[in-house]
Amino acid sequence: MNLTIIFCLFGTVIADVAIGTASGPPNAHDSTGSGASIDAVQICASSERQGISDKTGAPADYVKLKDVGQEVAKLNAPTVYLYLCKTNAAERNGEALVDKVVFTIDSSPTGAPGTFRPLPAYIKIENYSPFEYSSTNQFGGAGVKKIHAKLLDFSGVSKTITKLLDLTSLDLGRIGNRWRFRRHLHQASNPPPAGTGSGPPGEGNGGGDASIDTVQICASSESQGIDKTGAPADYVKLKDVGQEVAKLNAPTVYLYLCKTNAAERNGEALVDKVVFTIDSSPTGAPGTFRPLPAYIKIENYSPFEYSSTNQFGGAGVKKIHAKLLDFSGVSKTITKLLDLTSLDLGRIGNRWRFRRHLHQASNPPPAGNR
């Protein structure tokens, strides 16, 4: 079976999160000073995952859901994907603060007040980005859906947003704006900031110092470092050529962009596209690496995942190239090494101390955090 590598995206409780739980918006968790807040988080819907056609990679129609009492967004599709919007810097920075989303759905045949009924069968808990909830039957059939999303940030502060989505017909006339960019839901009226075409793309983070220079690659035996029970799994952060080679002892390998601290999360939020290529060597010695043409993956949207069930073509030392493109088209290629030569568990990387956030055992959270 063809390996598929999943470069995956995940978050971590970081040393600079606020201690305790604040009563107001959780702005303290953005170390860049850009004023990021989960108050900026919105919900979008599309007939395609993250608004990108799986068949062609082209942008698909999407709608941004509005509050109760406002004009109801309409989507005309039997299959519906709900996700946290990333149409501007505020939404991207807000989403980067989210640790968990609990989706619940109410339905009404018409959307009239007093006609909504809960749908107990349609509850979804999402513990990692891209916080997506999909349905192949319009969440129980045609109707107006009231979508509740309970957002929890890294410190445990929560906020519930409620939006409406009209799934009553197939009238294409009211489908919303199209994506201008590959995965980030930029509307045609909201292009990326001018002047980001040279140097590190820091402007896309709402004024902070975010840059794709901070992006790193992690690897785990589990998708996004989370096992089937929801418990943390082992992971390693890959290092540059010439440094000590990270070792992972597993036949199935998941690669993803690390989110172990604020700098990595903010850097990942600027990434528009990742192209993965793999070289392999039986020993890792200089001059022994050979390209693996069968192992190339283009990821156009978060979580930038690439997985393999056969160690990328068998045991060996893998040289992993990730070409990162930001919103303005600026690119940077990072190259890391991963040792997949044995199953010696003694050298597996640090374990997660927390549910999904890649805290190393030697790097516990500050006192007072939950």
> Mean of the per-residue pLDDT values for the chain?
75
For 216-239, b where at least 16 C-beta lie within 10 A, e where not — what string?
Answer: bbbbbbbbbbbeeeeebbbbbbbe
| Amino acid identity at 37 | S
Please state, for a pLDDT cut of 90, what percent of the chain lies above it.
46
Report which secondary-structure segment, H or E, holds 227: none
Residue 59 DSSP one-character state: B
Which residues 6+ apart lie within 8 Å of 285 measured at CB? none
Q: Please compute, for residue 209, the number of CA atoms within 13 A of its CA located in the half-sphere on the CB side.
A: 6
pLDDT digit string, tens, across residues 219-252: 998 887 777 777 778 889 999 999 999 999 888 9
Token reading at 237: 């952060």
Q: How far is CA 307 from the centre of its chain?
A: 15
Average pLDDT of the segment spanning 51-77: 85
Tokens 């990108």 belong to residue: 52
Q: How far is CA 209 from the centre of its chain?
A: 20
On whether the CB atoms of residues 69 and 62 are closer than 8 A, the answer is no
pLDDT of residue 133: 94
d(CA 105, CA 165): 10
Closest to 119 measured CA to CA, from 167, 171, 71, 61: 167
pLDDT of residue 188: 31
pLDDT digit string, tens, across residues 110-126: 899 999 999 999 999 99
Which pLDDT band, with edges at 50, 70 and 90, does 34 fall under? low
Which residues 6+ apart lie within 8 Å of 287 measured at CB? none
d(CA 159, CA 290): 50
pLDDT of residue 343: 56
Which pLDDT band, with edges at 50, 70 and 90, does 8 fall under? very low
Average pLDDT of the segment spanning 119-142: 90
- Does residue 166 or residue 185 have the better pLDDT? 166
d(CA 321, CA 50): 25
pLDDT of residue 66: 94
d(CA 318, CA 298): 18
Residue 130 DSSP one-character state: T
φ/ψ of 335, rounded to 5, equals -125, 125
Average pLDDT of the segment spanning 309-328: 93
On whether the CB atoms of residues 272 and 181 are closer than 8 A, the answer is yes
H runs (alpha helix) in the chain: 89-96, 262-269
Max avg pLDDT among 130-134, 225-229, 332-336: 332-336
Q: Where in the chain is the domain with CATH 2.60.40?
A: 27-174, 203-347
Average pLDDT of the segment spanning 69-86: 91
Examine the pLDDT at 100 and tell me if it is beyond 60. yes
pLDDT digit string, tens, across residues 187-224: 333 333 333 333 333 333 333 468 899 999 999 988 87
CATH class entry, domain 203-347: mainly beta
d(CA 39, CA 289): 48
- Does residue 164 or residue 15 have the better pLDDT? 164
pLDDT of residue 190: 36
Q: Please compute, for residue 33, the number of CA atoms within 13 A of its CA located in the half-sphere on the CB side.
A: 4
d(CA 262, CA 260): 7
Task: List, in sequence order, every residue forming a beta bridge with 218; answer none if it has no partner.
Answer: 237, 256
pLDDT digit string, tens, across residues 149-158: 999 999 889 9
- Which CATH fold topology does 27-174 show? Immunoglobulin-like (2.60.40)
pLDDT of residue 280: 96
Examine the pLDDT at 83 and tell me if it is beyond 70. yes
